[in-house]
Amino acid sequence: MSRAVPPDILSPEFHADPHRAYRVLRDDFPLIHHEATDSYVLSRYEDVERAFKDPVFTTDNYDWQLEPVHGRTILQMSGREHAVRRALVAPAFRGRTLETAFLPVIERNARELIDAFRDTGSADLVAQFATRFPINVIVDMLGLDRADHDRFHRWYTAIVGFLGNLAQDPDVAAAGLRTRDEFAAYLLPVIRDRRENPGDDLLSTLCAAEIDGARMSDEDIKAFCSLLLTAGGETTDKALSALMYNLLCHPEQLAAVRADRSLIAPAFAETLRYTPPVHMIMRQPSEDVDIAGGTIPAGATVTCLIGAAGRDERRYAHPGTFDIHRTDLAATTAFSAAADHLSFALGRHFCVGALLAKAEVETGVNLLLDALPGLALARGAAPREEGIFTRGLDTLPVRFTSARTRG
């Protein structure tokens, strides 16, 4: 790849191996204007970190990137509007509510999926576990019909496709807009019913939530649920399978995690740095910004390359090595706004569902390790990463000692 021309983030070569391109960008082109997407691209850790923390970088880009498929969400808000909306939804994703109301839901869903293949001696952890697990959890949390799982999965896949449609494919855009209408037709009647007949589910909690007289409208709740299914499904799905693959590729670290389950959190944090599920997040500056040796004009779209920042030699020692014991990544803060990785963003728009993702991943990995002794990659397996905006494994075939054999 020539150093005279910056890599094209839409090229087949980039899709096949983005990390090679990321290094060229970090070293030689820390700020470029990418004409095809009309965006300014940042690739170094310190620059992406600033774009997430500095208030001059707004989320106004979500007006066109998210709102057409989700409706207006918390990610687009600022000031008091953002603070009130976050206060309405955040309590459901932390502390006692998460532990008492939703951890049993997480455990039940993980066990059900694992029980379906633990006797077989082999499985595809993407198709049979990771893809289904977070969606089933969210559907149960919201009190929706799990029989609609395939529909939910199709919806969030179409929405993620819309969000990552950097090449502006009209068919991908149309599928996202159809999904918006289908999801609204499905969920708005359910929301109206929960207002009249509340239960003990998250949807009823959102309907009843009130701060200083402010409540969420039906459209607000629909938009938040759409965001939750997409962000909570797609990212946790890909992070969980990536974590398992990273451990399977490093048997000594897998053995350490199997022996000491407190290492699951560091392994998850390291996975978010090393193989993040989301490789790009956009921002939009409210004024001209000098950064990375150049100037980004006010109102421009900024593409923040999380996948590149996570392997920046200026921030991490041996960044191309997966190491759950690394000392430059703190697991104790990895799931808070003080995180020193960038996969949950930072600042006021730090991911509200970070602790839910942590609970799902820790529970899923714990139960997989308990149920699948001798876990290893299937012979001849060659999983591939796919995607540009979000990126994850297409398959993860494994073998293990089946429960029936042990019996």
Question: What confidence tens digit (pLDDT) does each residue in 338-391 have?
Answer: 898 999 888 877 888 888 899 999 999 999 999 999 999 999 999 999 999 999
Residue 332 lies in a domain: yes
pTM score > 0.85 for this model?
yes
> Number of folded domains in the chain?
1
Per-residue pLDDT averaged across 51-72, rounded? 91
Per-residue pLDDT averaged across 187-196, rounded? 96
Residue 133 lies in a domain: yes
Residue 3 lies in a domain: no
- Residues 152 and 233: their CA atoms lie apart, in Å, by 9
Confidence of residue 87 (pLDDT cuts 50, 70, 90): confident
- Residues 73 and 169: their CA atoms lie apart, in Å, by 24
pLDDT at 1: 43
Residue 5 lies in a domain: no
Per-residue pLDDT averaged across 280-289, rounded? 96
Residue 6 lies in a domain: no
Structure token digits, residue 255: 């053995």
Q: What is the CATH number of the domain that holds 217?
A: 1.10.630.10
Residue 250 lies in a domain: yes
Checking if the pLDDT of 85 tops 80, the result is: no
Checking if the pLDDT of 228 tops 70, the result is: yes
Structure token digits, residue 150: 């395939």
**What residues make up the domain containing 92?**
12-405
Residue 2 lies in a domain: no
Confidence of residue 2 (pLDDT cuts 50, 70, 90): very low
pLDDT digits (tens, 9 = 90+) for 92-112: 777 777 788 889 999 999 999
Checking if the pLDDT of 56 tops 50, the result is: yes
Checking if the pLDDT of 406 tops 70, the result is: no
Residue 32 lies in a domain: yes
Question: Residue 173 burial (CB < 10 Å; 0-12/13-18/19+)?
Answer: middle
